[in-house]
A and B are shown apart, each in its own frame.
Chain A
Amino acid sequence: MNTVGQFGRMRDERAEQALIERRFRVVTVLVIVALVLLGWRYGQLQLGAHEMYAARSEENRIRLRALAPNRGLILDRHGRVLAENRPAYRLVIVPERTPGLNETLDHLAGLVEISAEELRRFEQQRQRSRRFESITLKSNLDDAQVARLAVERHRLPGVEIEPYLTRHYPHQGLLAHVLGYVGRIDTRDLERLDRDQYRATTHVGKTGIERRYETLLHGRSGLERVETNALGRVLRVIERTDPRPGQDLTLSLDLDLQREAVAALGDLAGAVVVLSVETGEVLALVSHPGFDPNFFVHGISQANYNALLTDRRRPLFNRFLAGGYEPGSTIKPFIALAGLDAGQITPDTRIFSRGWFQLPGHSRRYRDWRRHGHGWVDLELAMAESVNVYFYQLAHDLGIDRISRELALFGFGRATGIDLYGETGGVLPTRAWKRATFGEPWFPGETVITGIGQGFTVVTPLQLAHATAALAGRGTTAPPRLLAVAEPARMVVHDEANWAAVFSAMAAVVHGPSGTARAVARQLPVKIAGKTGTAQVFGLPDDLDDERDSEDLPEHLRNHALFIGFAPLDEPRVAISVVAEHGGGGARVAAPVAAQVLKRAMELGY
C-alpha cells in the first residue's frame, strides 16, 4: 500500500494511520481531562462555595438602573425659553405585579381613555421588556385623570402614576420649523444612537434644532445601583452617578423679530429669513404656516396628522430650507453686478425699452411688464422700475457662463450649510448642468430669461437671504448659523464703485420716485436697499412682473411674491428675504412684509 509522496519520500500509510490513531488517543485523553477539570470547577462553585454564593445571590439584589438626563433648554438670543421641560404624569404598569393584566387594562380603560395606538405601543413594549420592568401605558395625563387614578389605585396592583419631564414648546407653531420636535425613540433612531446613553431616555430629537444638536441637548445618562427585593422592587439606592443634563442652547434667533415676521405674513403661506450681515447669525427664520410641535411629542393622532398632511397650505413643509422658488426679479442686482464687473455696462449706460426684447434673427418677443416700455433707462431706473428689457439685453451680452459664475459666487445652486438637516441647494443653471439634466445644449433664449430670474434657476428663501447678506456685506458674510457662529468669508470681490452703484440702484427700488416698492418707504425708519420679484407659478405670458398682479386668478395659480433687501443702506447690518406663495406681485405683497420686519429689526437695535 506504499505510495511515493511528492518529495519522493516513501509514504507508509500504515505508519501514518497508526500515528494519527495515537494522536486521536492523546486527544481523547485530553478531552476527558479537560471536561473533568471543568466539572471540578463547577463542583467547587456549586458544592464547595455554594453557601457563600447562595447568600450573595439572596442578598445581592443589586441592580443597575439608568437615569435619564434632563434635556437642555432652547433659548432665544435674549434667553427667552423656546423649548422647555414640563413636569407631567404617566400611567405605568409592571406586568409582574399585575395579576390579571387584561382585567386591569379594562378597568383602566374605564377610568381614562386609552387609544388603540396606546394599547398597541404598550403591547409592543411589553414584548421587549422584562416582566418586572414598568411599561408606560399612557403619558401626559391631565389633572382629572391623575385624580381618578389616584382614587382607584388601591384596587389596581402594579399600576403606578409616575412623574416625569416632558418637552414643551411654549410658542407652538411660531418656531416649529426651526426647533423641530422630539418624539418617541423608534427602531430607526436606535440604530444611530448610543444605546447605553439612551437606556432611560424615551424621546429624541426628530427634526430641526432638536435633531441637529441632539448630542448637546441630551446630556449623559446617569447610573444608580439599587438594592431590590426578590421581585425587583427597589428597596434603597446604594450608589448613584448623577446624569449630566444636556446643555442649554442659546440660538441667535430673536423671538420678537420672529413674531413680527409671522405677524407680517399674516394669512400668506411663505417664508421670511433675516440674517445678520456681519456674522451670518439667523435672527428670524419663518416657514409659514407652521404647526404645533407639541402634538408630536406625545405621538400625534392619526386624524391630526392627516389634517396636517392634507392641508393645501402644507404646514409640515419647511419652506425656508427646502422650498424651491424661481427668484424672479430678485436676481437682477446680481446680474447687474456681473455686468458692471465685466464692463458690459456702467451705471450710466442707457438702454431704450420699448416694451419688448428680441434676439437677433428670432421672432420671439420677451416682454416688459409695462406694455409700452419704460423708455430710456440707466441702471438705477432699470432696477427701480424692474425693467426687464434692460436685463434681457445685459444677460444676452454677458452670456450664461459669466452669469453662472457670478451667481455661484453668491452661493446659488448649493446649500448654505446652515446648522439644520434637510437643506436643499436649489438649481444654478449652467451649460454643463443643462446637458447633464436634459441632454440638450444651452439656448440663447434661456440666457435672456435667466437675466430676470426665470427659466431654470431655483432658490430657497435661505439661499436668497444668504446671497443678499453677501451682497450687503460687499462680498463678505458668514454662512447662516443658528447656534455656533461661523467665520465670515469673502465670497465675492468687486470694485467698490460697482457695489455702490448696485446699492444705490436698490435704494431707488424703495426710495426712488418710481421704485416698485416705493409704497413702503414711508413706514421705514431708515433708508434700505431692496428688490421686488415675482415668480411664475403658471405659464402666463411672460409680461407679468412686479407691478401687475395676478389677482384675478384663482389663488393657487397666482404668482409667488418675493422681496430681498438689507438695512440700513449706508451700513448694512441685516439682510432679509421674503417669499409669499401665491401672493401675486412682489411689490404689493412681499415688500410690505419685508418693510414691517426690517422696521422692527431697526427698533430692536440690529
Chain B
Amino acid sequence: MNTLVSQRWSGLLPPLRLDPVLSALLLALIAFGLMVLYSATEQNLGLVIRQGARLGFGLGVMLVMAQIPPRYYQAWAPALFVVAVLMLVAVLFFGVGRGAQRWLDIGLVRFQPSEGMKVALPLMLAALLARRPLPPGWIDLGLCLGLIALPVGLIVLQPDLGTAVLVAASGVALLFLAGLRWRLIVAMSGLVIAALPVLWLNLHQYQRYRVMTFLNPESDPLGQGWNIIQSKIAVGSGGLAGKGWTQSTQSHLEFLPEPHTDFIFSVLAEEFGFIGVVLVLALYAAIVLRGLYLASRCRDNFGRLLSGSLVMMFFFYLVVNVAMVSGLLPVVGVPLPLVSYGGTSAVSLLAGFGLVMGLHSRRRFMG
C-alpha cells in the first residue's frame, strides 16, 4: 500500500494493524492478571490455564477486529445493532442462568448477549453521529438517547444492573465526545436525577438491598454487607507493601466472596499493598490514555467517537470495579477488566481494543 507508512512504522505489529505500545500494555496487564488469579483461586493452575485460553482467544478476536476496514463497520453498524437487540430480546425468553437470565445457550457455546451490546451500541451511535453535523442537536440527541435506552432497558430486565450501567455510560460518553453542548448535559443530568426515584421503585429486591447495604454496610454485617466489609478489611490490611503473592489471608479464609471474579482487586490490594495498587492503576491509566490518544487521532469522526467510547467503556469497568471493591460504590457485579475470571467480558473488551487499533491504523492512507 503506502510505502511511506511502512517505512515509518517498522516492526512486526504495524502490518497487523496493532499498536505496539497499547499491545504491550495489554499483554503486561493480562500476564499480571493471571498471576493474581493464580493466587486468588488458591493456586488452581487448571483454572488459570482455562482463563489464559479465553484471553488467548480474545487476543485472536482483537487481531481479527483490527483487520476489518472501518467502512464495513460503519455499513454494518445498524444490522449488528439490530441483531444484538434481538439477542437481548431472545435472552428474556430463552435465556438461562440462576436468578437472572443472562446467558444464551446455542449448543456449542454459552454467552451473554449483553456483552455484544457493549460493542454494538457504540458502533451504532458512532455510525449515526458520524453522518450528522456536530455537535448533535436536539433531534440527534433524542435519537441517540432512544438507541441507548432500548438495549439498556432490555438488560435491566434480565436483570443485570452492572452491565446496564456500563452500556449506558459508554453511550453517554460517546455523546459527550461528540461535543454535546454543556447546557444539554446539565439538562440530561437533571433528568437522570429526577428519574432516580422511578428507577428505585423498579429495582429488584436484591438490588435495593445492595444499594442500602452499600450506604450502611454494618447494618447487615452477615448478609449483603459482608462483601463490602470483608473486602475493605482485605484492602486495608494489605498496607504499603502487601502480604506478598499468594499470602492473602482474607480470601484464603473465605472472608471474601468470589475472590477470583468480581473481588479479585481486593486480593491484589491485600497481597501487593498500596504500591501494587498504584502500579496497577498506573498500568490501567496508561492503557486508557494510550487508547484515548489513538482514538483522538483517527481519521474521521466515526473512528474517533467509536474508539473513544470503547476506551471509556474499559475505563468505566475499571472505575466501577475498583470503587466497588473499596466500598465507594454498591456491589453491582462488574468484573475487573481483563483480570477477573470469566470469558465473555474479556473477549468483548479485547474486541473493542482491536477496533480501536484497527481504526487508528488506517488514519493515513485514505482518500
Contact = CB atoms under 8 A, between A and B. Distances in A.
Given A9-B133, A28-B289, A42-B269, A50 B296 contact: no
B285 A32 contact: yes
Interface stretch (A225-233, A385-393, A513-521): A225-233
Contact of A27 (B133, B281, B312): B312
5 contacts: A42-B326, A46-B274, A54-B236, A56-B233, A57-B250
B288 A41 contact: no
Contacts of B308: 20, 24, 27
A339 to B, nearest CB: 52
Contacts of B281: 35, 38-39, 42
Interface stretch (A58-66, A165-173, A459-467): A58-66
Interface of B: 42, 131-135, 173, 176-179, 222, 226, 232-240, 249-250, 252-255, 269, 273-274, 277-278, 281, 284-285, 288-289, 292, 295-296, 301, 304-305, 308, 312, 315, 319, 322-323, 326, 328
Contacts of A62: 255
A553 interface: no
Contact of B253 (A19, A27, A228): A228
Given A27-B173, A42-B326, A20 B132 contact: no
A26 B134 CA distance: 17
B233 A57 contact: yes
The residue among A38, A50, A130, A223 with the most chain B CB atoms within 10 A of its own CB is A38
Contacts of B322: 38
Contacts of A132: 253
Contacts of A52: 236
Contacts of A50: 236-240
Contacts of A307: none
Contact of A45 (B179, B232, B285, B305): B232
Contacts of B233: 53, 56-57, 60
Given A6-B132, A34-B319, A131-B42, A20 B237 contact: no
A47 interface: yes
A47 B234 CA distance: 13
A16 interface: yes
Contact of B239 (A16, A54, A60, A63): A54
Interface of A: 5-7, 9-11, 16-17, 19-24, 26-28, 31-32, 34-35, 38-39, 41-43, 45-47, 49-50, 52-54, 56-58, 60-64, 130-132, 223, 225, 228, 230, 232
A290 to B, nearest CB: 37
Contacts of B278: 39, 42
Given A50-B239, A62-B255, 17 more contacts: A11-B133, A17-B301, A19-B179, A20-B308, A22-B179, A24-B177, A27-B176, A27-B312, A28-B292, A31-B289, A35-B281, A45-B232, A46-B235, A47-B274, A50-B236, A52-B236, A232-B253
A53 B233 CA distance: 5
A226 to B, nearest CB: 11
A41 B326 contact: yes
A38 B323 contact: yes
B46 to A, nearest CB: 8
Nearest to A239: B222
A161 B222 CA distance: 30
Nearest to A21: B296
A238 to B, nearest CB: 10
A46 B301 contact: no
Contacts of A7: 133
B184 to A, nearest CB: 13
Contact of A47 (B179, B239, B250): B239
Which 9 pairs between the two chains have the least Cβ-Cβ distance?
A: A53-B236, A57-B237, A5-B133, A19-B179, A46-B274, A24-B296, A45-B236, A16-B134, A50-B239
Given A27-B308, A38-B323, A20 B178 contact: yes
A395 B222 CA distance: 72
Given A27-B173, A230-B249, A20 B232 contact: no
Contacts of B285: 31-32, 35
Nearest to A232: B253
Contacts of A21: 296
B236 A46 contact: yes
A132 B249 CA distance: 12
A594 B235 CA distance: 74
A346 B252 CA distance: 84
A24 B250 CA distance: 40
Contact of A20 (B131, B234, B305): B305
Contacts of A34: 315, 319
A50 B312 CA distance: 32
A6 B296 CA distance: 25
A47 to B, nearest CB: 6
Contacts of A56: 233, 236-237
B269 A46 contact: yes
A46 B322 CA distance: 14
B237 A23 contact: no
Contacts of B173: 27
B222 A46 contact: no
B128 to A, nearest CB: 11
Contacts of A20: 134, 177-179, 296, 301, 304-305, 308
Contact of B240 (A28, A46, A57): A46
